[in-house]
Structure 1
């Protein structure tokens, strides 16, 4: 009996160790396994020869660099693709006479080797500051209740950097997450609290680390589009990138269809503006009520994401003993703090007129006032402004950030309580959340990861902040992070440059990114060659093998042609669905030539178009007065093989509000074979234009 128990415990220990090692070395993206195989015993070559030589003179380049905040680099990849990289001038990190250009985000666009945009497909997104943690960081990330950074990763790996997302296979992230969750609950958690707490802590840290860099990538893309106004990405591509990155925070976000992107982005943008405006007013009113100074900090696009709170040194004596209400401020009273009277930290001299309005120093009658910074707040939070930096108490923001994480770790990992299975805990947790949110208490609030990540980007881009103040904010900000996997600003800039060089070298080698691209295209052929049941089987095999197995079709001479046709069909189908969902008269809001081009493509090549495309063609038929467009709608419906197309034709013929001429035209398509459409020329290399009224 004793031997059986010993063997059972040994088996449990071995199984837990195996699963922990799998979790510790789990790939952070679909590149993890491919890059290991491709880079094994292969030296990294220099990235020269990838970029077309610049035609600008050194003087012109220097003049342009001094004015630009962002710049774009496009690198062709063998096999028909391009790497699009956004570089930013991060002068806020290190003082130098030359601009400090740092690559921040790279996106791979698969073009199939031509100039047409209809068959382009966005693939991987690399935030270049996002790197594989060092072994030391990984081990410390698995230590329960270790809330803090433990140093920086010194050098990036020579492997290709890990992408945070494959835009063409987002459903893979969903099923992998569900599988790991089931594995954690069913197989790992029963092996005891130490194993359970360790693996869950590591997974939480990995998730938070990835999320912070996704947030930064989103901010960079948004800033570049607003500041530079470049059309490197079409409106639909930009909408897809932003929506897919935002949806990574949702459990089933990877399953959301592309027709919901615009609505989802609009909703998220509206919520963000509401939260910022709400928190702006809460903080400003509280600051002014306490006789303090409110100063918003703006991103380069003009959006105020953070705010500084100052106190005038002469006001310390004037308000000594004044009653202080710290609601929404969540810092100690400045009126009873004797340290401020002999403050030896950072100060600024500001100038005010007789009505206490800030004015330039040369303004007649301006008086100089010494200002002391008290705190810095993030405005992007669902409930209240969140204190990120307290200049008098560096641990204040960290304690508040730890409150939610520690409560979660104790209740979930130690006490095994769940809001779904324990009613008393659910009621207590709900009431506690309600009270802290209503009273403006910065305790047990949503994580600061979002606003923390944005502040790091703001500090590196904002050139208006005094260098000394920026340095002090940066040092204090790093203390707020609870994640051992994080690196500081200078380390991230260094790692980004190293990872970009490794990525370019990987793109140059024939067994690197070009080979990966070819494998991805073969995997993309799966729905074109197999039924839905077979696809489910192959997907399950991929999940159960921890991503080691991915079904790919054999390369054939017509593979590129078939992918080209499938992508163009999807492109035109999406465009018709967008037209059908729009409001107003189609003839006024959209370019009819573009609509007819898409309908004609469906007529010629869209026999297998889905039911949503058939529904869109029928909707356009009813909302256009152009006879050619109506005939094109019927042409496309009559050539679709799915039952919905026939049903839509019957429905249109039975509508009462359709005039007799249209009914006769519909009946002619129902009763007889449709006329052969006039073939359209090769696809226009320019994208279908957006709405006319935009």
Structure 2
């Protein structure tokens, strides 16, 4: 009997094993396996996977590989609308999800509305629903009307109802926006790290576009064109690198002056974003009570007179130095062991001063410094009912206080440390050189010291991200919710192609008046499909040229001109649908290249665009052309010898020539 039972169990296990081998893997398992394969083929910290969807789109997900977690951690996903084909030229980026951005719980929302609360009192441990869309790249102005209506309601109605109606909504909205900005800053840090790896899942122009829309979330940013947003983002990135380098050098000098040990922290390829200050236990015992200490810019208590450091039982690490205090390996003949005690953590990407993020001896005074600016603003707004827009004396006083504290580098009333904390979370996830115990200590100390009300504890964030990623993949593959939303946005794209602003406004009004019963839909005819395809291709080639111009001063020296020339020739062939904003792109491309064929292609594309702006630019460029190119334009019939722009049909075409004023 036992032998028969054993045989049955063996056959059952064998059948289960065969079934498991033959069963198809789920999309989620496919993505994780692809991320692991990408990790095994190269030493990368961030990898990307693609998941093709049945409704003509693909989901691109960025995973972080952390040594403390056995599986990759999803950070960000982008939906690319492919229209069901494999051609990248007519693709359109739609939605961006950030997996650490989980909807706040009820406790977190209640805490967010409490005035003068600057401490995290609740955290989310898990999330079983897809994350909210962080930004809609195809319609970035969508949240603008919500922000505007909320601002009008608050200022025109609620502020006059009393202290309660003035304080609670404003406090809640600020805390929720800070929570969202923190997750965006973390995702941007991961995206920048992915950009350095020259990966192919997202193109250069797509990464710049995502970073531009995530970075510029203000009301003013909604009215700026994408090239302007991208330029502002690149300038801010350059300023960030300069701030990091300046604060790195400044903090290192101050540490050496006070006898402390300076250790920069950051990802490879970029200036360090953070820094740790240590004190040697041997030096502390030798100079205890006998060494002066200047607290300016360091903003910590004198370590040379602190009894707690002499009895320190927290985290320490051991390094080896030679006679000249240079770090060596333990096997070096002059190596001597030195025990280091951590003192403070600083963020280097901050204006004027390195900002204190964590004090290993006391978290309260760091939190007080972080909350000082909020406390001053809240006291004036909620208790005294003062506003910089309605009280001139308060505006002048506040401006003077801001100037003194920030110009002199006083760590009070400083801008928010939110970005520095978010970048620290990204660093702790991606750095594989730091000791895991030190990572845990840094995360714990920084969480206690930050003045954020709505945030999730660092140790729960990987689990939250994984669960939200699973929920989004299920929603994209097993339900039709995402497909329906994408179809609605495609219909909006078709209406812009087929109708003017007045007609679209009428359709919107009809939808509102009928309470959603009427929704105008365009029939996807072959003609409409062709127009949509052409419009997307035009946007793609324009983005290719803009990306090349942003990253190069001389196109013929720093770029491959073949794809750029193909983009210019595409614009020439379809000049009738090219907007006037492309004229500036072609003019700049002409000015930054010395290649005769490429410049000739720019001239022909401008000549094909029959509008006043292109005519003026072409006439201005004629004065900058070399004699051979000017003669060629005259021979080809683009320009007459006297600078007159010829019609598209040639010198004797039906259209009269446009003459230079």
Partner of 1:83: 59
Equivalent of residue 666 in structure 1, options 590, 615, 638: 638
Partner of 1:266: 234
Where does residue 139 of structure 2 map in the other structure?
169
What aligned pairs does 1:107-506 form with structure 2 within 5 A after superposition?
A: 107-158=78-129, 160-226=130-196, 228-248=197-217, 250-301=218-269, 303-317=271-285, 318-506=287-475
Aligned to 1:612: 581
Deviation at 1:356, TM superposition (A): 2.0
TM-score by length of 1: 0.81
Question: 2:7 aligns to what?
Answer: none
- Answer whether contact 1:77 1:514 (CA < 8 A) is retained: no
C-alpha distance in structure 2 between counterparts of 1:563 and 1:370, whole Å: 66
Deviations 1:542-572 (A, max 9, x none): 9x99x99997643423443322111112223
Write the distance in 1 (CA, Å) between the matches of 2:325 and 2:560.
Answer: 55
Instruction: Give the CA deviation at 1:262.
Output: 4.8
**Conserved in 1, the CA contact under 8 Å of 2:552 and 2:559?**
no
How many Å apart are 1:374 and its aligned residue?
0.9
Measure the CA separation in 1 of the matches of 2:533 and 2:488: 16
* CA distance 1:65–1:461, change in 2 (3 Å): farther
Coordinate RMSD, CA, aligned: 3.5
Provide the rounded CA distance (Å) in 1 between the counterparts of 2:100 and 2:32.
30
Q: Which residue of 2 aligns with 1:520?
A: 489
Trace 1:28-39 onto structure 2 (pairs within 5 A). Answer: none
Aligned residue in 1 for 2:658: none
> Distance between the aligned counterparts of 1:379 and 1:335, measured in 2?
25
Deviation at 1:445, TM superposition (A): 0.7
Paired residues, number:
620
Contact 1:128 1:161 in 2 (8 A): yes
Check conservation: 1:283, 1:385, Cα contact below 8 A.
Answer: yes
Measured after TM superposition, the shift of residue 596 of structure 1 is 4.5
Residue pair 2:255, 2:261 contacting (<8 A) in 1 also: yes
Query: 1:582 Cα deviation (Å)?
Result: 8.8
Distance 2:525 2:366 in 1: 60
TM-score (norm 2): 0.84
- Tell which deviates more after alignment, 177-186 or 568-577: 568-577
Following the alignment from structure 1 to structure 2, what is the Cα–Cα distance between the partners of residues 541 and 404? 47
From the superposition, tell whether residues 74 and 625 of structure 1 become closer, same or farther in structure 2 (CA, over 3 Å).
closer
Separation (CA, whole Å) in 1 of partners of 2:400 and 2:599: 58
**CA-to-aligned-CA distance 1:583-606 (integer Å, 9 cap, x gap):** 777666655544543344334333
What is the distance in 1 between the residues matched to 2:297 and 2:646?
71
> Contact 2:245/2:271 (CA < 8 Å) preserved in 1?
no
Per the TM alignment, residue 268 of structure 1 is displaced from its structure 2 partner at its CA by 1.4
**1:186–1:541: structure 2 CA closer, same or farther, 3 Å change rule?**
farther
Instruction: Establish whether residue 531 from structure 1 lines up as the match of residue 500 from structure 2.
Output: yes
Q: How does 1:32-47 map to 2 (within 5 A)?
A: none
Kept in 2, the 8 Å contact 1:282–1:328? The answer is no
Q: Secondary structure at the match of 1:374?
A: strand
Report the alpha carbon displacement of residue 324 of structure 1 after superposing the two structures with TM. Answer: 1.6
Cα deviation digits, residues 217-274 of structure 1 (max 9, x gap): 1111111222x431221111111112222212x4412332222355323311210111
Q: Which has the higher contact order (CA 8 A, sep 6+)?
A: 1
- Indicate conservation of the 8 Å contact 1:326/1:332, yes or no: yes
Instruction: Please list the CA deviations of residues 477-534 of structure 1 after superposition, one character each: whole Å capped at 9, or x if unmatched.
Output: 2112333321112211111111001000111135222222111111122321332455
